[in-house]
A = this chain, B = another copy of it.
């Protein structure tokens, strides 16, 4: 039995921050148990073609007016912090058939999008008991109620534009809760180059011997005076506090009896409040695909392109002719069934980051939502990925003023010197849905969910020796890196307070 003051489970940003704060506050005895062979968790910077690197996990500082991690970074000397660029600008938006639909004064879809979000907000603001429905239904309701105030083209294209929200939530419009749809941006977003610098910095503020890699935890026993943490290989740690930072998706398996990778057996079982809360929370899968080109032969003027899911004027006709909302929802629901498993590329809105706008890297990064993510992540190779995305990628390049056909050159054999075509060298995808220690990306809300329940049940037991941290355990920065980071800070402060600041004067990182 190894004795520690604190055991931290998981070396993602919340676990690393917990441990670094504990160390700074004087803790002498702590271990961070990490199942993977690397630190960072769902922050993961991967190498690609030509030594370029990409964040396949989180890649922005969000809410930069209030983002504590960002504000800490900004206060550091430039050589110690990760570079970043503010990359919010007006999106290029296009539809397969019609072409550009953004900044069109006749459609004003940006203005309509704002009105739709306000419409959604008002329906819950005006009556707290209004039933939560999926985002798709809210969109249809808006179209139905406001159809006399909308043009035919607005009715056709707004729904697909509105699906841009999928890129935030990581789940599709038919799964997304309307009540939890709104995202209150607290300042601009900054694209990080890259998060590995931050992971390394936070990680290096911990004695390196504290971190045990490839060490999966299988059980937490809190029946005795000390909490006993048992690893898969049978090591036992007795500690005053354990901080559980494993993803919500993995923690959910503790409620089910089936053994599986990463699952922790709690003895006694997790409190009933936590068990109930898990019924009102879900988990999404924002996925990414990186298209790496030899050179940038497209416009660097704008940093964001949204390719819309396909639509037809038929939608407008049905909205105009509808006699009641329920049957309209039903009809449009049928009309918008997905077909991506049969190779249909235009089922989903796809959000592209034009990396060449802010860096020297000639790559496009695509963001997509579940269930497309799970499908794409399961494709076996680059050829299959290319086959699926080729029609859209071609149109994205056209939207960026590059009309030459794509030359595929995964084998690096093309004698492409001097040609002006975009030469595609590599495609990378995330694998979060297949990753048994992640099972997706971050918390998400389906209709009827209330994420507050989980947050409160995991954090408001003021006597528990089992603490929780991570993006799913905090309101300020929920689902974000800085939220996870802040939750680590919170738990370290809690434990330091309970353990009398480890007998030392408290220092703050």
Minimum CB distance partner of A70 in chain B: B149
Number of copies: 2
B118 & A186 in contact (Cβ 8 Å cutoff): yes
Q: Kindly identify which residue among B65, B88, B103, B112 contacts A108, using a CB–CB cutoff of 8 Å.
A: B88
A261 within 8 A of B: no
- CB proximity of A266 to chain B, nearest CB, Å: 37
A303 within 8 A of B: yes
A114 & B185 in contact (Cβ 8 Å cutoff): yes
A187 and B105 in contact, given A74-B149, A110-B90 (Cβ under 8 angstroms): no
Measured CA separation A66–B123 after assembly (Å): 11
A360 within 8 A of B: no
B186 & A149 in contact (Cβ 8 Å cutoff): no
Measured CA separation A354–B498 after assembly (Å): 66
Set of chain B residues within 8 Å of A494, measured between Cβ atoms:
none
B90 & A103 in contact (Cβ 8 Å cutoff): yes
Give the bracket for the number of chain A residues in contact with chain B: 20 to 34
Residue in A112, A114, A187 whose Cβ sees the most chain B Cβ within 10 Å: A187
Set of chain B residues within 8 Å of A64, measured between Cβ atoms:
149
A 40-96 contacts with B by CB, 8 A: 64-66, 74, 86, 88-90
Q: Kindly identify which residue among B65, B105, B148, B185 contacts A74, using a CB–CB cutoff of 8 Å.
A: B148
The DSSP consensus for interface residues of chain A is: loop
B301 & A187 in contact (Cβ 8 Å cutoff): no
A119 within 8 A of B: yes
> Could you give, for residues 179-205 of chain A, a 1 whenever the CB lies within 8 Å of some chain B CB and a 0 otherwise?
000000111100000000000000000
A1 within 8 A of B: no
A2 within 8 A of B: no
B187 & A115 in contact (Cβ 8 Å cutoff): yes
Measured CA separation A503–B302 after assembly (Å): 68
- CB proximity of A356 to chain B, nearest CB, Å: 13
A188 and B303 in contact, given A108-B88, A148-B74, A149-B74 (Cβ under 8 angstroms): no
A118 & B74 in contact (Cβ 8 Å cutoff): no
A128 within 8 A of B: no
Measured CA separation A90–B109 after assembly (Å): 11
> Could you give, for residues 142-156 of chain A, a 1 whenever the CB lies within 8 Å of some chain B CB and a 0 otherwise?
000000110000000
A334 within 8 A of B: no
Measured CA separation A89–B112 after assembly (Å): 10
A185 & B118 in contact (Cβ 8 Å cutoff): yes
A130 within 8 A of B: no
Minimum CB distance partner of A190 in chain B: B149
Q: Kindly identify which residue among B90, B114, B149 contacts A86, using a CB–CB cutoff of 8 Å.
A: B149
B303 & A122 in contact (Cβ 8 Å cutoff): no
Set of chain B residues within 8 Å of A301, measured between Cβ atoms:
105
Q: List 30 A-B contacts (CB under 8 A).
A: A64-B149, A65-B115, A65-B118, A65-B119, A65-B122, A74-B148, A86-B108, A86-B111, A86-B149, A88-B108, A88-B111, A89-B105, A89-B108, A89-B111, A90-B103, A90-B105, A90-B110, A103-B103, A105-B301, A105-B302, A105-B303, A105-B357, A111-B188, A114-B185, A115-B187, A115-B188, A118-B185, A118-B186, A118-B187, A122-B186
Residues of A within 8 A of B (CB): 64-66, 74, 86, 88-90, 103, 105, 108, 110-112, 114-115, 118-119, 122, 148-149, 185-188, 301-303, 357
